[in-house]
């Protein structure tokens, strides 16, 4: 049923519908009639949502800007976790991973062949040549921002550095594939092509996701795909792109003891970079990095 043009818009902006999302709905409805998968209204963030997501992102970015100075040989991943907890709470935020579905720590620290969800521990001591992904999500005023970066522990091998660099390129290429009224499949196709061209494999079991009003929302953003397929990318959507790229083959296994940490099955290195993005009328704005 068509909304009254002068009624308050469904997005919560308090603007009249005709001055807010009427044209957006017209475009979505045409795409839906043509058989495209389209986002529902609840996936679209309004200005108030975006304001708080950006504040959560500012804390999250501050964590990742500062944690690198801590990462050196002899430091434990437990020390990284403490830093993340202290920084987050001292800036008025909440570390989203802590207690999420039973996860015991404030951040994920994935070292070398750990693909993701590495659990910080005082028994994991970083050593020269390690690579580590620090993945943190911050809640502020009920809104979420999510990002991760790779860090080198001292001097790493040329092979490890190349994996880190190409994985970051995969993220950047994935972001360039995002365009309003494009498709989620465009992102995965671009990432997959670049990873494979460089002789690497792409993890399929974990992917990017909607974020902002919750920790994990629709859509799922696969890092492999076919152009022109998947959900339509519409202005107002907020989601992560977070490719996990393996030096060797793609198969993985989950740690049976903790039920969280994913490892490469062949024991080779894995790397990941993650940003949170806002889709705008003209492209994307990177909120958390």
The residue-averaged pLDDT of 53-63 equals: 98
Strand order in the sheet with 244-246: 201-202, 244-246, 270-272
Tokens of 40: 């529902």
Q: Are residues 182 and 284 in contact, defined by beta-carbon separation less than 8 angstroms?
A: no
pLDDT tens digits, residue range 129-175?
A: 999 999 999 999 999 999 999 999 999 999 999 999 999 999 999 99
Backbone angles phi, psi at 124, to 5 degrees: -95, 105
pLDDT tens digits, residue range 236-284?
A: 999 999 999 999 999 999 999 999 999 999 999 999 999 999 999 999 9
Least Cα distance to 129 among 159, 172, 171, 168 occurs for 159
pLDDT tens digits, residue range 189-215?
A: 999 999 999 999 999 999 999 999 999
Give the Cα separation of 83 and 70 in Å (integer). 9
Q: Are residues 130 and 156 in contact, defined by beta-carbon separation less than 8 angstroms?
A: yes
- Whole-model pTM? 0.97
The per-residue pLDDT for 80 is 98
The per-residue pLDDT for 2 is 79
Q: Are residues 4 and 16 in contact, defined by beta-carbon separation less than 8 angstroms?
A: no
Long-range contacts of 248-257 (CB under 8 A, 24+ apart): 248/201, 249/201, 250/201, 250/202, 250/203, 250/204, 252/115, 252/203, 252/205
pLDDT tens digits, residue range 212-226?
A: 999 999 999 999 999
Return mean pLDDT, the chain: 97
Cα separations in angstroms, 47 against 20, 63, 114, 274, 275: 11, 25, 37, 23, 20
The per-residue pLDDT for 182 is 98
Give the Cα separation of 247 and 263 in Å (integer). 12
Q: Are residues 138 and 92 in contact, defined by beta-carbon separation less than 8 angstroms?
A: no
% residues pLDDT > 90 (the chain)? 99
Q: Over 90: is that where the pLDDT of 1 sits?
A: no
Tokens of 129: 């040549």
Report domain extents, the chain: 41-288
Give the Cα separation of 147 and 4 in Å (integer). 39
Which element (helix H / strand E) includes 245?
A: strand 244-246
What is the number of H-type helices and E-type strands within the chain?
5, 15
Give the Cα separation of 50 and 108 in Å (integer). 25
Q: Which residue blocks in 150-256 are alpha helix, DSSP H?
A: 158-176, 184-197
**Record: fold of 41-288:** Creatine Amidinohydrolase (3.90.230)
């Amino acid at each position: 049923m068509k909304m009254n043009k002068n009624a308050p818009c469904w997005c919560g902006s308090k603007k009249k519908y005709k001055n807010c999302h009427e044209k957006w709905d017209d475009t979505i409805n045409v795409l839906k009639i043509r058989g495209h998968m389209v986002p529902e209204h609840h996936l679209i963030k309004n200005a108030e949502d975006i304001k708080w997501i950006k504040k959560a992102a500012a804390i999250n970015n501050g964590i990742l800007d500062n944690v690198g100075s801590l990462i050196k040989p002899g430091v434990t991943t437990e020390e990284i976790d403490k830093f993340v907890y202290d920084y987050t709470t001292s800036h008025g935020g909440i570390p989203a991973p802590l207690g999420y579905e039973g996860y015991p720590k404030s951040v994920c620290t994935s070292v070398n062949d750990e693909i993701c969800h590495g659990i910080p521990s005082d028994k994991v001591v970083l050593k020269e040549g390690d690579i580590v992904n620090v993945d943190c999500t911050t809640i502020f005023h009920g809104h979420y921002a999510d990002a991760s970066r790779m860090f080198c522990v001292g001097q790493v091998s040329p092979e490890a550095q190349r994996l880190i660099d190409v994985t970051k390129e995969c993220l950047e290429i994935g972001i360039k594939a995002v365009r309003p009224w494009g498709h989620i499949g465009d992102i995965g196709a671009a990432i997959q092509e670049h990873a494979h061209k460089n002789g690497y494999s792409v993890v399929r079991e974990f992917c990017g996701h909607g974020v902002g009003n919750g920790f994990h929302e629709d859509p799922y953003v696969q890092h492999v795909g076919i152009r022109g397929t998947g959900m339509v990318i519409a202005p107002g959507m907020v989601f992560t792109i977070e490719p996990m790229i393996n030096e060797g083959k793609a198969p993985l296994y989950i740690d049976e003891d903790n039920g969280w940490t994913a490892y490469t099955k062949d024991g080779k290195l894995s790397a990941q970079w993650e940003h949170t993005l806002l889709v705008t009328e003209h492209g994307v704005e990177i909120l958390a990095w």
